């Protein structure tokens, strides 16, 4: 993958992020007390067993989080997954079985459903975008428009849905956006954007001599074809074409192919499921879509309780 960013999997960092979110959820749900309703109506020794069920069609994401949630509420709870991460879900699909103390299961229920519903929703919407560009060479990327504290998990869900991860944060790339350009131009009114790209590239070279973790990718956002023509000779890794029309995107691809075929073109700005295929057909390499994480609807999941036998 040229001009690549870290692709988030379920690793130690992701698990740690998940655990922090689970611990925060436990704190806000139980505070310093307990689930008083359950304590009032159920004896301590009452066993429970429930099925985690999909109520909607979607994509499963977040399966490795289930044991983390259950363990935080009660290490004795048992989890039996029945499907695999990334699998398509039909209404009624049983994702897994959970059993143990009924009191503990009732306390954990909402935190578990909230977490999985969110991640499944992101993966499901991502899968729809990925399917919408099939037959083209374009790939779907996420953005930094994520829920505070959830970024690594939401980007993980994008990857499960078949999408690609853009930069994780400000620390792992140089991405010159419109505000950077405007503020820079105020101090260099006679310079063109090629000079800005060369300045940023020189900075990255200096940084690489000082730090082993220096970012590798240099991307710049442009608003017009004229700006694109300015930056291409300077050789950025990626050019972000912000809010270009379809015709402008096609012209941008022709210009790139003629002047700098090694530069990656990324389209962004107001792209929907209804328009993404036409954007992909213009020949751009990447399409970044903020709605994958900031507007994905939660997938409807439920715990269906099994009635205990006599």
Mean pLDDT by runs of 10 across the 310 residues of the chain is 81 97 94 88 93 98 98 96 98 98 96 98 98 98 97 98 97 95 87 94 96 95 97 97 98 98 97 98 98 97 80
Strands (E), 149-206: 174-176
From 76, 110, 178, 304, the catalytic residue: 110
Interacting residues of 122 by C-beta distance below 8 A, sequence separation 6+: 61, 154, 157, 158, 161, 292, 293, 296
> How confident is the model at residue 1, as a pLDDT?
45
User: Beta partners for 287?
Assistant: 140, 267
Dist. CA 165–CA 8, nearest whole Å: 7
Structure tokens, 134: 């099939």
Q: Which of 49, 51, 71, 145 is catalytic?
A: 145
Of 221, 217, 259, whose CA–CA distance to 243 is shortest? 221
Q: How far apart are CA 260 and CA 229, in angstroms?
A: 10
> Under CATH, to which class is 135-294 assigned?
alpha beta
Say if CB 126 and CB 163 are below 8 A apart.
Answer: yes
Q: Is 161 helix (H, G, I), strand (E, B) or coil?
A: coil
Q: Is residue 151 within a helix (H) or strand (E), and if so which, with residue range?
A: helix 151-160
- Is residue 178 flagged as an active site residue? no
Q: Where in the chain is the domain with CATH 3.90.1170.20?
A: 12-129+297-305
Dmax over CA atoms of the chain, in Å, equals 85
Distance CA 90, CA 287 (A): 28
Catalytic residue, from 20, 76, 177, 206: name it. Answer: 177
Q: Which listed residue (219, 242, 266, 285) is catalytic?
A: 242
Place of tokens 């729809």: 128
Fold of 12-129+297-305: Aldehyde Oxidoreductase; domain 3 (3.90.1170)
Cβ pair 25, 278 in contact under 8 A? no
pTM of the model: 0.95
Q: Can you tell me the distance from the alpha carbon of 129 to that of 276, in angstroms, rounded to the nearest whole number?
A: 7
Active site residue 145: yes
Catalytic option among 109, 142, 154, 221: 221
Q: How many CB atoms lie within 10 A of CB 30?
A: 14
Whole-angstrom Cα distance, residue 203 to residue 195? 12
Give tens-digit pLDDT for 244-265: 999 999 999 999 999 999 999 9
**Residue 230 per-residue DSSP state:** H
Over residues 190-226, the pLDDT tens digits come to 789 999 999 999 999 999 999 999 999 999 999 999 9
250 classed as catalytic? no
Catalytic: 110?
Answer: yes
């Amino acid at each position: 993958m040229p001009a690549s960013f870290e692709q988030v999997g379920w690793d130690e960092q992701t698990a740690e992020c998940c655990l922090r979110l689970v611990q925060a959820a436990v704190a806000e749900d139980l505070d310093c007390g307990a689930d008083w309703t359950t304590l009032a109506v159920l004896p301590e020794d009452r066993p429970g067993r429930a099925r985690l069920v999909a109520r909607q069609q979607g994509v499963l994401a977040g399966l490795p989080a289930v044991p983390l949630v259950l363990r935080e509420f009660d290490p004795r709870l048992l989890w039996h997954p029945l499907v695999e991460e990334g699998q398509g879900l039909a209404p009624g699909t049983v994702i897994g079985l959970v059993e143990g103390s009924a009191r503990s299961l009732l306390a954990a229920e909402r935190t578990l459903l909230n977490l999985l519903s969110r991640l499944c929703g992101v993966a499901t919407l991502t899968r729809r975008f990925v399917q919408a560009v099939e037959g083209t060479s374009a790939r779907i990327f996420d953005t930094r428009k994520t829920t505070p504290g959830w970024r690594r998990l939401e980007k993980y869900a994008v990857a499960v849905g078949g999408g690609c991860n853009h930069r994780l944060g400000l620390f792992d790339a140089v991405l010159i956006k419109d505000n950077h350009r405007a503020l820079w131009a105020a101090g260099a009114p006679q310079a063109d954007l090629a000079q800005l790209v060369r300045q940023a590239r020189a900075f990255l070279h200096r940084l690489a001599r000082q730090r082993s973790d220096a970012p590798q990718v240099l991307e710049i956002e442009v608003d017009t074809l004229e700006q694109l023509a300015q930056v291409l000779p300077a050789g950025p890794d990626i050019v972000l074409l912000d809010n270009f029309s379809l015709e402008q995107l096609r012209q941008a691809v022709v210009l790139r192919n003629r002047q700098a075929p090694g530069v990656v073109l990324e389209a962004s700005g107001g792209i929907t499921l209804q328009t993404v295929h036409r954007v992909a057909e213009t020949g751009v390499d990447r399409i970044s879509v903020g709605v994958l994480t900031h507007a994905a609807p939660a997938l409807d999941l439920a715990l269906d309780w099994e009635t205990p036998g006599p």
